[in-house]
């Protein structure tokens, strides 16, 4: 049995030159030549790329038991994070199963999210106040930065009832740590493709990450210690946020199930992934709405008709806003946060479509290519939320035409919270506000180029001016 076809690799470096700076696009073009199941070599690593919903379903559903591993990048190994992180542990590990169960049943269940929504409303109030101030002074908003701040605040308010970012340009130690760690994870590391460099760290990525993880853990240790001490002194201080859930679980269960030392690793995963995914998604949605003012007007009209201009959008309102839901789906289709998902690792040799998928190969799904495939989507390059108004396709892992958060056991555990926060942030940004570009720039002139850095960022951060509606 042979490997799936693919471009001829160069000696030593493999197909690195074939990928360029935007590998999601380069891989999509290569798949048009070599098919939806393709082999690439990156250094010494074999990559199997999937670019069709049918094969994605086969890999992530039928062969889920075989693709349960992760190839842990060097940066994930600092402070032993890969040994306790739900992102990097194999799904066969009992610790992964415990963490997954805690996330699903205790942290991100509908009941728990309903209980913690009051914590997020305060963060959203601060967002609205900031936008009103910008309106009053005609200030240009860096939407990328604002989206990052509100995303961080929404996740930290849910986790431990604190906002750790502000919308002004003042110093923000925690945000700087978050951004530095996200950048470290997003930077291509030569040590991941050439094992000979694994212990050398030639780019210094691992060394810098170790320092920043240490700083984050110091802050999280302090938050956990303060909360634990407060709980010992007065049980009435229990806030019922996610940190309390984790401390309750750690104290009720055996220490081996959730050691308190592991809580900070889980919190870091949730903070980094939640901030990055929500911020990028919100920025792309706002860019598409500003570029398509008639779509923004339609979404705003739905909000004002169903919610009213004098009321604030609640989390319980999201299901009553079909056009807003369609806007979010359409933007995610065009601009998935992780265009290649986090690679799965084949733990055994297996066969797919008559080809060999070798043990230890990394298996990538190009969800960006699937989202723009003209055989699946009509006018795939156009922003048309109306295509989702029939409600037949969702992004929760069952419809493989749209799996930006993965599928199966490896689906993003924080998806229920991310789904709420993305809709809430966008709703608050357009409910009683219009947006325009600086100067005489027309909406159609907005630069929509992307930049691959593990996640899919806008190449030029979105800047716009909010206008309060009377």
pLDDT tens digits, 329-364 = 999 999 999 999 999 999 999 999 999 999 999 999
Is the pLDDT confidence value at 383 over 80? yes
Confidence of residue 292 (pLDDT cuts 50, 70, 90): very high
pLDDT at 439: 84
Rounded Cα distance between 32 and 21, Å, is 19
The answer to whether the CB of 280 falls within 8 A of the CB of 334 is: no
Rounded Cα distance between 103 and 371, Å, is 28
> How many other C-beta atoms are found inside a 10 Å radius of the C-beta of residue 39?
22
Rounded Cα distance between 294 and 303, Å, is 14
The 10s digit of each residue's pLDDT in 208-237 is 999 999 999 999 999 999 998 888 887 656
pLDDT at 238: 64
Rounded Cα distance between 124 and 132, Å, is 12
Mean pLDDT of 149-170: 89
* Ordered domains of the chain (ranges, CATH): 16-468 (1.10.630.10)
Q: Name which of 216, 241, 218, 217 is nearest 230 in CA terms.
A: 241
The answer to whether the CB of 129 falls within 8 A of the CB of 464 is: no
The 10s digit of each residue's pLDDT in 187-199 is 999 999 998 888 8
Q: Name which of 449, 296, 75, 294 is nearest 85 in CA terms.
A: 75
Q: Extract the tokens encoding 268.
A: 């870091």
Q: Residues for the chain: how many in total?
A: 470
Rounded Cα distance between 456 and 337, Å, is 5
pLDDT at 462: 96
**Lowest mean pLDDT across 161-175, 179-193, 357-371:** 161-175
Rounded Cα distance between 49 and 4, Å, is 9
What string of H, E and C letters represents the secondary structure of the chain?
A: CCCCCCCCCECCCECHHHHCCCHHHHHHHHHHHHCCEEEEEECCEEEEEECCHHHHHHHHHHCCCCCCECCCCHHHHHHHHHHCCCCCCCCCCHHHHHHHHHHHHHHCCHHHHHHHHHHHHHHHHHHHHHHHHHHHHCCCEEHHHHHHHHHHHHHHHHHHCCCCCCCCCCCCHHHHHHHHHHHHHHCCCHHHCCHHHCCCCCCCHHHHHHHHHHHHHHHHHHHHHHHHHHHHHCHHHCCCCHHHHHHHHHHHCCCCCCCHHHHHHHHHHHHHHHHHHHHHHHHHHHHHHHHCHHHHHHHHHHHHHHCCCCCCCCHHHHHHCHHHHHHHHHHHHHCCCCCCCCCEECCCCEEECCEEECCCCEEEECHHHHHCCCCCCCCCCCCCHHHHCCCCCCCCCCCCCCCCCCCHHHCCCCHHHHHHHHHHHHHHHHCCEEEECCCCCCHHHCCCCEEEECEEEECCCCEEEEEECC
Q: Extract the tokens encoding 96.
A: 């992964």
Rounded Cα distance between 450 and 459, Å, is 5
Residue with tokens 């360029």: 20
Residue with tokens 């319980």: 316
Crossing angle of helices 110-137/242-252, nearest 10°?
A: 150
Confidence of residue 240 (pLDDT cuts 50, 70, 90): confident
The 10s digit of each residue's pLDDT in 106-134 is 899 999 999 999 999 999 999 999 999 99
The answer to whether the CB of 272 falls within 8 A of the CB of 279 is: no
């Amino acid at each position: 049995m042979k490997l799936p076809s693919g471009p001829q690799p160069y000696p030593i470096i493999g197909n690195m030159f074939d990928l360029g700076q935007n590998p999601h696009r380069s891989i999509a073009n290569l798949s048009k030549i070599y098919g939806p199941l393709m082999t690439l070599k990156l250094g010494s690593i074999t990559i199997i790329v999937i670019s069709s919903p049918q094969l994605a379903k086969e890999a992530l559903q039928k062969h889920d038991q075989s693709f349960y591993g992760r190839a842990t990048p060097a940066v994930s190994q600092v402070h032993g994070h890969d040994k306790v992180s739900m992102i990097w542990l194999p799904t066969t590990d009992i610790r992964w199963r415990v963490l997954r169960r805690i996330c699903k049943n205790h942290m991100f269940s509908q009941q728990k999210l309903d209980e913690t929504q009051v914590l997020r409303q305060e963060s959203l109030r601060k967002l609205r106040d900031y936008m009103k101030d910008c309106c009053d002074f005609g200030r240009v908003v860096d939407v990328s930065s604002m989206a990052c701040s509100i995303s961080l605040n929404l996740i930290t308010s849910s986790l431990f009832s604190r906002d750790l970012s502000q919308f002004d340009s003042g110093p923000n130690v925690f945000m700087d740590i978050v951004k530095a760690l996200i950048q470290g994870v997003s930077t291509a590391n030569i040590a991941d493709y050439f094992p000979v460099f694994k212990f050398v760290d030639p780019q210094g990525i691992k060394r810098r990450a170790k320092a920043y993880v240490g700083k984050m853990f110091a802050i999280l240790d302090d938050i956990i210690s303060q909360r634990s001490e407060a709980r010992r002194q007065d049980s009435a201080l229990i806030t019922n946020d996610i940190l309390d859930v984790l401390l309750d679980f750690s104290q009720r269960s055996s220490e081996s199930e959730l050691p308190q030392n592991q809580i900070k690793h889980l919190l870091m995963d949730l903070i980094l992934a939640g901030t990055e995914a929500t911020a990028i998604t919100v920025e792309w949605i706002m860019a598409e709405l500003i570029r398509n003012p008639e779509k923004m007007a339609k979404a705003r009209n739905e909000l004002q008709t169903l919610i009213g201009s004098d009321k604030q959008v609640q989390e319980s309102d999201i299901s009553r806003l079909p056009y807003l839901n369609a806007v979010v789906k359409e933007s995610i289709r065009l601009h998935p946060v992780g265009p290649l998902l986090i690679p799965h690792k084949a733990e055994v040799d297996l066969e797919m479509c008559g080809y060999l998928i070798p043990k230890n190969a990394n298996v990538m799904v190009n969800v960006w290519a699937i989202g723009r495939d003209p055989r699946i989507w009509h006018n795939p390059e156009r922003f048309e939320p109306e295509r989702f108004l029939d409600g037949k396709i969702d992004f929760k892992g069952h419809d493989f035409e749209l799996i930006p958060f993965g599928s199966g056991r490896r689906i993003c555990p924080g998806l229920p919270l991310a789904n709420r926060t993305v809709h809430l942030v966008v709703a608050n940004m357009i409910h009683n506000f219009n947006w325009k570009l600086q100067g005489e720039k027309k909406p159609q002139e907005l630069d929509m180029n992307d930049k691959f850095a593990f996640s899919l960022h806008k190449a030029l951060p979105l800047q716009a001016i909010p206008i309060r509606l009377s």
